[in-house]
Structure 1
Amino acid sequence: MNTFEHARALLQEFKGDSYVYGNGVLNEVGKIAASSGTKVVLIYGQFPGVEAYVKTIQDSVAQAGVQLVAVIEGAQPNAPREDVARITAELTQANPDVLISFGGGSTIDATKAAEVLRTLGGGIEDYFGVGLVTKKLADSGKTLTPHIAIQTAASSGAHLTKYSNITDIHTGQKKLVVDEAVVPTRPMFDYTITHTAPPALTADGALDGIAHIVEVLYGAIGKPYYNKMEEIAKAGIALVVKYLPKIKDNPQDAEAREALCLATDLGGYAIMIGGTNGGHLTSFSLVDILSHGRACALMNPYYTVFFAPAVEGPLQIIGQIFQEAGYISQDLSGLKGRELGVAVAQGMFAFAQAIDFPTTLNAVKGFTQAHIDRALTAAKNPQLKMKLENMPIPLTAEMIDEYMGPILEAAKTGDLRLIKNV
């Protein structure tokens, strides 16, 4: 079984026949909508050429005999709270019995959150954390509207997962709704939509997929799902490391595009098995200067060195992938602990440089010490404590300044010596 076949087998195991994906599947949306209700709302994000895809969706829905009762503009990047509020109001007015979201992670996440607010009321702050939507649904006896989530970018896996990332753009801080209740009932992904994605967006999304897999793998040590995470990691990370540089050389490479779609979908599988941790936690405080995938890619080498003594098995797997791709030259077999972590981090840096990603915070336009202060403060917020708990070396709020502080200081300049291991 080659890597592509292995990835498809893992996705079948993950979602079964509920997930419709591949090249040219967008026109199936009407049939799927008709199986769930009679009044549909379409929430779609903006990107070049979106109008043609929206027409395909509208035609498919009409042919299936389903009424399209409203078309709503999706969310801006990072799903600002203001967009969630606006979408909530428009959904309430339209009163659909099926939702179709069409966009990247921000539009899909905003749709998830808006439907929660439409059905359960309150403010989004009421649902940040783990399982609070499910609890409110049980207490109220209500249910959320069926949601067909159509992904347009190989990135977040939002169409497959229980996460809704929402940002307060005034403070520059992102927070999470984490709840099985918001998982879209029918995910879709037409891979051909990604063929015209610009290089920067493509790379951001692919590295977000790697971050999902790497962080969950680190946190899976000693857990029942560790062997499954090894399997996902070997397929997903290898697909990105091998094929992302090919897209840089040839953006229309259909095989490479499929590889990234499969890999980032596997990232979605990963974060439904376990949770992300350090890289994602810090990325939530960098939303005003970096895209999400770029922030995670920048931070994960530094967390790799910090976690290294506890994650030697994962580091050998990841290191071998980067070594086979030519990004690590030294022999990893005799390395252990921090020394192994530094070698893998250097491989991650080499890969980032090959795709024109920054490797230090000082190289990012707009970065200031205030971003580190914000990240340290956010890490102590109880609403984000799941990220601390998911770490292979769990940190308490009292340990943040002593251990996370040096990680972020190291990320400023690239000096790995600053990182202090527990």
Structure 2
Amino acid sequence: MIATILVPPVMEIGGGAIGRIGAVLSRLGVTRPLVVTDPFMRDSGHAERLLAPLRAAGFTADMFAETVPDPTTDVIAAGVERLLAGGYDGLVALGGGSPIDTAKAMAVLAANGGRMRDYKVPNPIARTGVPVIAIPTTAGTGSEVTRFTVITDTETDEKMLIAGPMLVPAAAIIDYELTLTCPPRLTADTGIDALTHAIEAYVSVKASPYTDAMAIAAIRQIAPHIRRACADPGDRTAREAMMLGATLAGMAFSNASVALVHGMSRPIGAFFHVPHGLSNAMLLPAVTAWSLPGAPGRYADCARAMGVAGPEQDDAAAGLALVMALRQLNADLSVPSPRHYGIDPARWDGLLETMAAQALASGSPGNNPLVPDVAAMVALYRQAWNGD
């Protein structure tokens, strides 16, 4: 098997790495960057702390701070208008997965024209846009190193997966110190998102020795540190491990793809505006339990990497230990079920078939060790409703 591996050509990793932004922009030939961020980053002053030294260093920099959770086609259209009108030659995405996904989509649409739905999987992207420099402020999405973006179509409420080599950022600055102020809920949701990336990359039918190494390394970083990072936001050792684990998991799933959890998770986010990492967490134990027979050895490896199963346990016992550990992690981090999150039960039931059909159409379930049909996914949604 030949694996095609795509990662950002430039990566700056470590505490204080954000100080390298000027050198990274110069290396890429960017002189007029547009910082893409969200209102919190703007209003809290975090974005200005990035802009001020850039301006002092001679860069003509400006800010687009209209990004929203679960980026929408409306926001992308506004961002593209700003990008083209200002003549910017690079995008600096500062924030969680939403600003990074927004910047990626802006670059694609500005370079290729049309509408975002024209580029949803499996449609190709012809041209590369302006360079995107990704600076994550959460440890979870891995978007800073991936070939994916996820955009919600405002007209249809479909959460569209868009993929291609053109979406891999030109550079990533991975500075764990930017996560020290993340609150516990955000830390938990993004951390479980990263763990899900690692597990799904490892069990994906598109896995390779390269992605296996990244995925197992990510699990070993995340599992012992996620509770610590949530309990003590200032735990620098835990924060650094979570940031490294999220990036490793991002490189793993970008090159091996995600699977059933992500396929089923995206429609929950689109229809009910549940944060992506949280909707993953709602589904992860149930989907893992259902998928175990498809790859018992692979799931057992994940359990051993998490430290919840020993080498003396057979694969079946280790797989069950993994499911129990995921359930316990959700309990420890107060992950609500869809019901306890406050989703209207009648609307949930009414959308199950639609969500399952959209999940299947995204292609992600096809990477799962066991490939479900719509009926199987409807049953899993029902199982997740009250909590696994």
Query: Could you tell me the TM-score, scaled by structure 2's length?
Result: 0.89
The residue that corresponds to 1:31 in the other structure is: 23
Q: Residue type matched to 2:382 in 1?
A: E
Aligned equivalents of 1:369, 1:203: Cα separation in 2: 28
| CA 377–63 in structure 1, closer or farther in 2 if over 3 Å, else same | same
SS in structure 2 of the partner of residue 188 of structure 1: strand
Alignment equivalent of 2:106, drawn from 107, 114, 122: 114
The residue that corresponds to 2:57 in the other structure is: 64
Aligned equivalents of 1:189, 1:82: Cα separation in 2: 29
1:38-82: CA deviation from partner (whole Å, max 9, x where unpaired): 2222222233686543233223323433222x3211411111222
Aligned equivalents of 1:152, 1:110: Cα separation in 2: 15
Q: Residue type matched to 1:146 in 2?
A: P
Q: Is the 8 A contact 1:379 1:385 kept in 2?
A: no
Q: CA deviation at 1:169?
A: 5.4
Q: CA deviation at 1:377?
A: 2.1
The 5-angstrom pairing of residues 8-407 of structure 1 reads 15=7, 18-35=10-27, 36-47=29-40, 51-68=44-61, 70-130=62-122, 132-133=124-125, 136-137=126-127, 143-168=128-153, 172-220=157-205, 225=208, 227-287=209-269, 288-322=272-306, 324=307, 333-334=313-314, 336=316, 341-358=319-336, 360-371=337-348, 373-381=350-358, 384-395=361-372, 399-401=373-375, 403-407=376-380
Q: 5+ residue gaps in structure 1?
A: 1-12, 138-142, 416-422
The residue that corresponds to 2:386 in the other structure is: 413
SS in structure 2 of the partner of residue 204 of structure 1: helix
Aligned equivalents of 2:358, 2:329: Cα separation in 1: 33
Aligned equivalents of 1:278, 1:372: Cα separation in 2: 20
| CA 230–169 in structure 1, closer or farther in 2 if over 3 Å, else same | same
SS in structure 2 of the partner of residue 196 of structure 1: coil
Q: Is the 8 A contact 1:289 1:367 kept in 2?
A: no
Q: Is the 8 A contact 1:27 1:60 kept in 2?
A: no
Q: CA deviation at 1:131?
A: 5.3
Aligned equivalents of 1:383, 1:115: Cα separation in 2: 27
Q: Is the 8 A contact 2:6 2:168 kept in 1?
A: no
SS in structure 2 of the partner of residue 155 of structure 1: coil
Q: CA RMSD in A?
A: 2.6
Aligned equivalents of 1:248, 1:382: Cα separation in 2: 30
Q: 5+ residue gaps in structure 2?
A: none
| CA 163–372 in structure 1, closer or farther in 2 if over 3 Å, else same | farther
Larger radius of gyration: 1
Q: CA deviation at 1:235?
A: 2.2
Residue identity (%): 24
Q: Is the 8 A contact 1:149 1:188 kept in 2?
A: yes
| CA 237–159 in structure 1, closer or farther in 2 if over 3 Å, else same | same
Q: Is the 8 A contact 1:285 1:378 kept in 2?
A: yes
Instruction: State which drifts further: 339-348 or 37-46.
Output: 339-348
| CA 105–73 in structure 1, closer or farther in 2 if over 3 Å, else same | same
Aligned equivalents of 2:129, 2:86: Cα separation in 1: 15
Aligned equivalents of 2:212, 2:349: Cα separation in 1: 32
